[in-house]
Structure 1
Amino acid sequence: MKSRFGLLLAAPALIFFSAAAPQPLQAKSDAEQICVSVGRLLEEGHYTHQPLNDEVSRKFLQTYLELLDYSHLFFTQQDIEALNTKYGDAVDDDVLLGNLKPAYEIYDLYAKRVDQRVAKVKELLKQPVDFKADATIEVSRQKAPWPKDEAEADQLWRGRITNELLQEKLSEHPIEPGPQLVARRYDRLARTVHEEDKNEQVKLYLDALAQTYDPHSEYLSKADLKNFSINMGLSLVGIGAMLRTEDGYAKIESLVPGGPAQVDGRLKVGDRITAVAQGATDYVDVREMRLDKVVEMIRGKKGTHVRLLVIPADAADPSRRKSVELVRDEIKLKDQEARADIIIKKDESGNPVKLGWLTLPSFYADMDRHQKSTTRDVLALLKRLKKENIAGL
């Protein structure tokens, strides 16, 4: 939509010269400048050299909508058509102008649709459910079309909620009555949607743009880059606990050998974290909080204290709690480093043959000091194996 692009470029000049006392042009925010840079980098630096034009614009919008509503549950086809009409041929120019208004407006509509649907789900949960009815639902809807209108969406959701209630009714390990659990599940979803601040919305928007060029490209925000550097560097500062979300809790999935939590011994796999405190400050409730937020609270500077309030994995009574205070430390992820072994096999004549065996669990690099990397370690291991006179690798 290049005509719109040219018009918008010309408009400030007209305003500038028509004003008696010219005002300085408003500087772009960091997010707007990043938006322009990402657009230019993809146009000029991506291997396809694909211009950011109307064709890409329409695909970009579709990708953004798919990232927001992956299972096609909240938008309707009417929403999709309206958004395509308004933004389909425009978001390419908006990116190159640093205009992030479409990102925010579309996200706001998504959040509104989630709120509306959660309200309807709660009304459904108040009604009696007939589990004997003959009905079929589509569990995986990624490739299904969006419901054409609100009436079709309501019908789709009636089946979906009935299915979720049936699953809870048949569960061998019920946590709480099905309607309460399902209601809390969707309350959590709504909270998660509203916890996404402007920076996170921009990250999602630019991620969609990068994925439009190819599915293996993505935009890394500052927080993403921090996590990427940690993963690539094979070290982190924290307590050495791997977490996952389960039923609104941050649950301990594993403990890193030699980390503060494993050495201390009080935290166990399966413990559920209910609150986190920094040093001697008050606890902050973290139930139903996004996992990345909980992780950020637990991480910190080496030598600082963090307190966790947890429900023990073996607690029969979920009201039981224990408080664990730990000192953060640097943790080396040694099990992810490249390593080499020598194995002996026999050839067809029965003679022993020395072979090298190289194991590479992950790719890594010290992003700050550049002292350690997959390339350096593998090269050193290959040189060592060569000195051992291996017959093959």
Structure 2
Amino acid sequence: MKRKFVYFLAAMLISAASCSFTNKTFDNPDKDKLLVDLITYVLEKGHYNPEELDDDFSSRVYDRYIEALDPLKRFFLKEDIEEFEAYRNAIDDQLKTSDLSFFSLTYERLLKRMDEANVMYKKVLEEPFDFNKDEAIDVDYDKLDYVNTRDELWDRWKLQLKLSTLERLLPAKREKEEADEAYEIAELEETARENVEQTFSEFFDIYDDLQRKDWFGIYLNAVVEEFDPHTFYFAPEDKDRFDMSMSGKFEGIGARLEKRNDNIRVTEIISGGPAWRGEDLEVGDVITKVAQGNETPVSVVGMRLDDAVKLIKGPKGSEVKLTVRGVDGSIEVITITRDVVEIEETYAKSSVIERNGRSYGLINLPKFYIDFTDYEERNAATDVALEIERLKESGVEGLVLDLRNNGGGSLKTVVDIAGLFIKEGPVVQVRSTGRGKEVLADEDDRIQWDGPLVILVNELSASASEILAAAMQDYERAIVIGSSQTYGKGTVQNLIDLNQFLRGDNDFGDVGALKLTTQKFYRIDGGSTQLEGVKSDVVVPDKYAYSPIGERDQENPLPWDKIDPVPFEKWEPSVDLQAAVSRSKARIATNEQLKLIDENAKWIRDRREEKVIPLNLAAFEADVEKDEEDAKRFTKIGEYETGLKFQPLSYEIALMEQDSVLKKKRERWYKDLAGDVYMEEAINVLEDLRMSDIKQGKLAERSGMKN
């Protein structure tokens, strides 16, 4: 399906690209114009529901873009905004003519205002704050207007910096009081102010690292995201990160880095990677130079983080030499042979859950990952199948598939995973504008797991997670436990490499990619998950219940609709699903832990709606103390114990003996799960289903299951 679309779009664009985009030499402005031409054409011809580029569209893009540039309204003056307003209804015309004057104006003005703010915040922090003064700050930035003068901007910065200082001063004051130590407020205030200056210095260092192309990417995404929330332009570096997030792997040394005070610092060594195996590079080390093999080293001090990472990463088997300053000040040259690095947190992981002498299986799937270049490489479907086999060998009597916080991924892996639990049949319907629908089905009649199945979801379970949960619900194959509804993303995106439309040599390099909404998917019963998500069979209160985080809370989501269902045969269960659902609902209604979680979610909502914060020390401290007192009743949430025991599978025990980092991660995971009331209810449901199995005389017939 994806390949058909890419070929279709490529056929349309190659003719345009061959006459308009090739055999030219482009400097940066020409490259920007090229991107505008490419992206607007792809959007017009390939988007599922293309927008009309008119004045209304232009106005919405204008608002989105200005907000992205200055969300806290602490850079631009009202006079800037009034000047920009002349372009409010002109962006559509500029897109059609590749006119970049609006972007150039806002970019140059922003740099000027940022330079002014960089001076301003330092001057503000030269003088101590008076925390006896009765004043407050309004942090409802959406409702704030832009200021008229620089003096008013100074006042706005002063309030923001005063709040930041106060947030550091109060903990220091309370620490002194708890230790019964003497202190002077003036000294604590000075230290807090110095810490704020350091924080904002690092903030402006990050801004200083941004180049024109980075800001142009923000402009482009203000345009493309107006089509829908999931259409997005990826600059070349961003595309690499997206590919890495989808596949869970990259080629490099296996270290996470950050830039601080012009230094490239190691923040994490990734387990199993080349740096981890070499044991020379350590967290806290500062990389000062990078050399490719025997070439001359290049200094990375003061270099943009992205540019330094480009030098350090490289193809498998190549050699990189890092000049490193250790935490003790020693200087060393470390040689590392690059390799494929797998990010373990991306992949499916499993555990055996023990309670009352019974064993159940848990598979946690963080995303539906895939290597776009080769499906035979590691992917979510093959990993889940493997974990099921390992759990069956452990004799588990039921299975929990945890899709909480899983934002989606590959559509193909969803169909393949669904096929692990049903004999065969349709899984999802997909429809493109102006074309008939396509039904994606499991065509393999093998069943990997035919036992009791529970799927856990929450408000952050999106896209592919919703497809799988919906299919299992429609087949009556599983009981879905979780939030009242999932995220509500019922659209399909294709990643379009924009470079494929350019032919011949060019001087402007990689132009990036466009993640484009090309289709909508529908349940096999015909309903869309767009906006509405998947309704859980058993609704469990959770901390996200009152948070505006779903698709319906986005600015311009595509609408909900419905198409005809497709024929399918429901699962013939040996268990009474509805009876298990009824028992679960009865337990939840009387569960004090879940009532407390619901109260906490409401409290968090109410706190989030409080927008005016006092900047008087006594008033601020009184508010903090009140919040702490109110929050005490929620401490029991973190103290809850389910009594469930979590054990690694035998193959992982050996890995954990060799890898202390993996061992710590798993132990932390097991500890979190041991207090997870949702997991507890999932096991309760599996026990109900197991008992129903026994009554039906089916449990003993299932291979790999205990009696």
Find 1:331's aligned residue among 328, 337, 341: 341
Q: Distance in 2 between matches of 1:345 and 1:128?
A: 59
Q: How does 1:166-177 map to 2 (within 5 A)?
A: 166-167=166-167
Q: Which amino acid aligns with 2:39?
A: V
1:20-79 CA-to-partner distances (Å, cap 9, x unmatched) read xxxxx9989333122122223333433333211111111111111111112211112332
CA distance in structure 2 between the partners assigned to 1:370 and 1:267 by the alignment: 33
Q: 8 Å contact 1:100–1:202 — kept in the other structure?
A: no
Distance 1:171 1:326 in 2: 44
SS of residue in 1 equivalent to 2:226: helix
Aligned partner of 1:276 among 282, 286, 289: 289
More deviation, 203-212/27-36 = 27-36
| Equivalent-residue separation in structure 2 for 1:187 and 1:247 (angstroms) | 8
| Equivalent position to 1:390, from 443, 447, 450 | 450
Q: In structure 2, do the counterparts of structure 1 residues 247 and 166 end up closer, same or farther at CA, with 3 Å as the change threshold?
A: farther
Structure 1 portions without partners, runs of 5+: 1-24
Task: Check if 1:307 corresponds to 2:312.
Answer: no
Displacement of 1:133 in angstroms is 2.5
1:372 matched to 2:432? The reply is: no
C-alpha change, 1:150 and 1:329, in structure 2 (3 Å) is same
User: Which is worse superposed, 240-249 or 250-259?
Assistant: 240-249
How far residue 137 of structure 1 moved from its aligned partner, in angstroms, is 2.3
2:308 and 2:142 map into 1 onto residues whose CA distance is 29
TM alignment of 1:108-127, pairs within 5 A: 108-127=108-127
Q: Which residue of 1 aligns with 2:63?
A: 62
**Residue of structure 2 in register with 1:84 after alignment:** 85
Quote the residue 2:490 is aligned against.
none
TM-score, reference length from structure 2:
0.44
The amino acid across from 1:363 in the alignment is F
Q: CA deviation at 1:371?
A: 3.0
Partner of 2:307: 293
Partner SS, residue 306 of structure 1: strand
Q: CA deviation at 1:134?
A: 2.7
What letter matches 2:154 in structure 1? Answer: D
Shift of residue 301, structure 1, vs aligned partner: 3.1
Indicate if the aligned counterparts of 2:280 and 2:334 stay in contact, CA closer than 8 A: no
The residue that corresponds to 2:210 in the other structure is 196
Contact 1:104 1:201 in 2 (8 A): no
Of 324-333 and 182-191, more deviation after overlay is shown by 182-191
Percentage of matched positions with identical amino acids = 25
Counterpart residue type for residue 124 of structure 1: V
- The answer on whether the counterparts of 1:169 and 1:178 sit within 8 Å (CA) in structure 2 is yes
Residues 138-191 of structure 1: CA distance to partner in whole angstroms, max 9, x if unpaired? 4563553333443321211122233334455567599x9566655555455445
| 2:212 is equivalent to residue 230 of structure 1 | no
Counterpart selection for 2:224 from 188, 194, 210: 210
What runs of 5+ residues in structure 2 fail to find an aligned partner?
1-23, 176-187, 387-416, 422-445, 454-707
Matched residue pairs, number? 354
Residues 122-201 of structure 1: pairs in structure 2 closer than 5 A: 122-139=122-139, 141=141, 144-167=144-167, 182-183=196-197, 185-201=199-215
C-alpha root-mean-square deviation of aligned residues, in Å? 3.7
Q: Which amino acid aligns with 2:276?
A: Q
1:237/1:301 contact within 8 Å kept: yes
Deviation string, structure 1 residues 98-146 (Cα, Å, up to 9, x no partner): 2223222211111101111222223323334434333322456355333
SS of aligned partner of 2:257 = strand
Displacement after TM superposition at 1:210 (Å): 1.6
Q: Which residue identity does 2:88 align to in structure 1?
A: G
Q: Which moved more, 1:273-282 or 1:218-227?
A: 273-282
- Cα distance between partner residues in 1 of 2:49 and 2:170: 51
Displacement of 1:335? 4.8
What CA deviation, in whole Å up to 9, does each residue of 1:354-373 have, x standing for no partner? 97654322232222334336
Q: Secondary structure at the match of 1:206?
A: helix
Residues 58, 84 of structure 1: 8 Å contact kept:
no
Which residue is 1:15 aligned to?
Answer: none
In the other structure, the counterpart of 1:243 is: 257
Please give the TM-score of this superposition, normalised by the length of structure 1: 0.75
How has the CA–CA distance of structure 1 residues 241 and 94 changed in structure 2, closer, same or farther, with 3 Å as cutoff?
same
Aligned residues of 2:57 and 2:92 also touching (Cα < 8 A): yes
Larger RCO: 1 or 2 (CA < 8 Å, sep 6+): 2
